[in-house]
Structure 1
Amino acid sequence: MTTDEWRSAWKAALDALEQDVETVETMLAEEHRLQEIELSSGWTPPANLGPLPLDLRPRADEILTRQLAAAQALSMAMTANRRQSAFAAKVENGDPGKNPPAYLDVSM
């Protein structure tokens, strides 16, 4: 593999990683929460890629930082979603252990 092919392979690999993190960041944005986003098939590093070229290290570090931030945001969103779901279940079913009202007085 020539030096140019090596650099091109790494740039393509970083492009794929960056596209994945952009998809997650888009999904987490307020205006896209209800939009369907295509599932990712996962990232597999290309075979025989070799070590990362030093001049691409800052870009790789920036992508990693964005991935970690997106993972944390996803975790927080899932936790909030579970809490909201549990609250909605209480609102719909009432407090656990208590019987629902038998009638509703609408005379007032």
Structure 2
Amino acid sequence: MSTETQAVDWRDAWTEALNELEMDITAVEAMLADEHRHAETPPADLWKPPTELGALPLELKPRADEILTRQLAAAEEIARRLTANRQQMSMTSRIETGEAVKRPVYLDCAM
């Protein structure tokens, strides 16, 4: 195999790896954008880092950087939503429902 063919195969392998990673973050972003989506369902195909690819081609670095930025933003949003969810659960757990203590709702003073 020639050096040029190896370089093309190497670049194609990295391009494919970035395509898979980009599809994964796009799915996460779509889940975050649609609050009514089945967020509990994990993605069917979890991305696994490719092995034996070597260094990232320089021309793909801007794309890889953009994907990383999107991943970090999505992770930050997920953490923010988890924190908000915990705060809401904490507040709702303090609401007295009247189930444990039976108190009259009103007092009839007409008698």
TM-score, with length taken from structure 2: 0.78
The equivalences for 1:9-48 within 5 A come to: 9-29=13-33, 32-37=34-39, 38-40=41-43, 41-48=45-52
Structure 1 stretches lacking a partner, 5+ long: none
Q: State the Cα distance separating 1:104 from its structure 2 match.
A: 1.4
Q: How many residues align?
A: 102
- Structure 1: 4+ residue segments shifted above 3 A: none
User: What runs of 5+ residues in structure 2 fail to find an aligned partner?
Assistant: none
Identity %: 43
Q: Give the whole-Å Cα distance in 1 for the aligned partners of 2:108 and 2:37.
A: 44
Which among 48, 60, 63 is matched to residue 67 of structure 2?
A: 63
Equivalent of 2:91, from 87, 97, 103?
87
The one-character-per-residue Cα deviations of 1:55-95 (angstroms, maximum 9, x if unpaired) are 0000000000111111111100000011111112222547x
How far apart are the structure 2 equivalents of 1:62 and 1:56?
A: 10
Say whether 1:104 aligns with 2:105: yes
What is the root-mean-square deviation of aligned Cα atoms in Å?
2.3
Structure 2 residue matching 1:105: 3-state secondary structure: coil
